Structure 1
Amino acid sequence: MWQQKTIHLAEKPRGFHLITEEVLAQLPEIKNIKIGLVHLLLQHTSAGLTLNENADPTVREDFLQYINRLAPEDLNYLKHTYEGDDDMPAHLKSSLLGVELMLPITQGQLNLGVWQGIYLGEYRNFGGVRQLIVTIQS
């Protein structure tokens, strides 16, 4: 069986944010799935999704420091700056980490590792509410 829905993530400041619980709160239907998959697609080009450390918040701080070095805002050769200095670097960061995840569902729960959580990478100073298309296969 296939299901699909749109969920919204609350607006967040620039940085990496653990959103596992926020996502699960909007997906009560997975509680009835014994075996399945959930695909998350972030419908934005200036934010990203990744799976990583869910316990120590300094990991998320380090992610931000590192990705800001990979795609800094002070590159004078960038042309796509219509929405500010963070515009093109946000697009680059989105492509570097990606905008989708495919995760297993087992016995009504995401089958993640003990220390794994879903991150939203917010790369804009004012990104706004973010939207996920969620497709569940069971």
Structure 2
Amino acid sequence: MAYQQSFDVHSRGRGSIEITAEVARIVRAAGMPIGLANIFVQHTSCSVVLTENADPSVRRDLETLAARWAPDGDAAYHHDSEGDDDMAAHGRNILAGSSVSVPVGSGTMLLGTWQGIYLWEHRTLAHRRRVVVTVVG
């Protein structure tokens, strides 16, 4: 049995947006007592990540790390048709990923105490992003 629903996230530019509550709503709507929820973003310049939700400095520090991994405007990049952050955003997506999977038990996600699901926007300008949640049980 499977259930699938999508939703849009409007980013304000680079940074993270918690989507845990919306994903949890979809998982509950699926009505599956045991299974797996896959959360996938349909874009190549943002990511879906599972990280700490208690201390916002964790997500700020992740931005610092990402700037080191894939800096904007590197002269070695060939792909820059949409600006200095273009290739860096694609690189950050490859490193952070486009999806996460979370186990489902008793009809809810089995997240740890300090875990949250986030859309991580890698572009500097605002974008509308589509997230697909698939629950298999």
TM-score, with length taken from structure 2: 0.91
CA shift for structure 1 position 8:
1.4
How many pairs align?
137
Deviations 1:109-138 (A, max 9, x none): 110000111121100012411111221112
For the aligned residues, what is the CA RMSD? 1.5
Deviation for aligned residue 1:25: 4.0
Q: Scaled by the length of structure 1, what TM-score is found?
A: 0.91
Of 84-93 and 121-130, the range deviating more from structure 2:
121-130
Q: Name the structure 1 match of 2:29.
A: 29
Q: Distance in 1 between matches of 2:111 and 2:85?
A: 32
In structure 1, the partner of 2:72 is 73
- 1:75-116 CA deviation, whole Å, 9 max, x = no partner? 112111100000000000000011011111111211000011
The answer for the alignment partner of 2:52 in structure 1 is: 53
User: 1:8 is matched by which residue type in structure 2?
Assistant: D
**Aligned with 2:21: secondary structure?**
helix
Which amino acid letter does the alignment assign opposite residue 6 of structure 1? Answer: S
Please identify, of 19-28 and 124-133, the stretch whose mean Cα deviation from structure 2 is larger. 19-28
Distance 2:26 2:108 in 1: 13
Q: How has the CA–CA distance of structure 1 residues 23 and 13 changed in structure 2, closer, same or farther, with 3 Å as cutoff? A: farther
Please say which of residues 15-24 and 45-54 is displaced more in the overlay.
15-24
Structure 2, unaligned runs of 5 or more: none
Tell me if the contact between 1:11 and 1:127 (Cα under 8 Å) persists in the aligned partners: yes
> What secondary structure, in the 3-state scheme, does the structure 2 residue paired with 1:67 have?
helix
Answer yes or no: is the 8 Å Cα contact 1:17–1:60 preserved in 2: no
User: How many angstroms apart in 1 are the aligned matches of 2:84 and 2:78?
Assistant: 10
Which structure 2 residues correspond to residues 51-130 of structure 1 after superposition, within 5 A?
51-130=50-129
Separation (CA, whole Å) in 2 of partners of 1:130 and 1:60: 19
Report the 3-state secondary structure (helix = DSSP H, G, I; strand = E; otherwise coil) of the residue aligned with 2:93: helix
Describe how 1:11-30 pairs up with structure 2 within 5 A: 11-30=11-30
Separation of aligned partners in 1, 2:39 and 2:119: 11
More deviation, 18-27/79-88: 18-27
Alignment match, 1:136: 135
One-letter code aligned to 2:124: N
- Structure 1 range deviating more: 67-76 or 56-65: 67-76
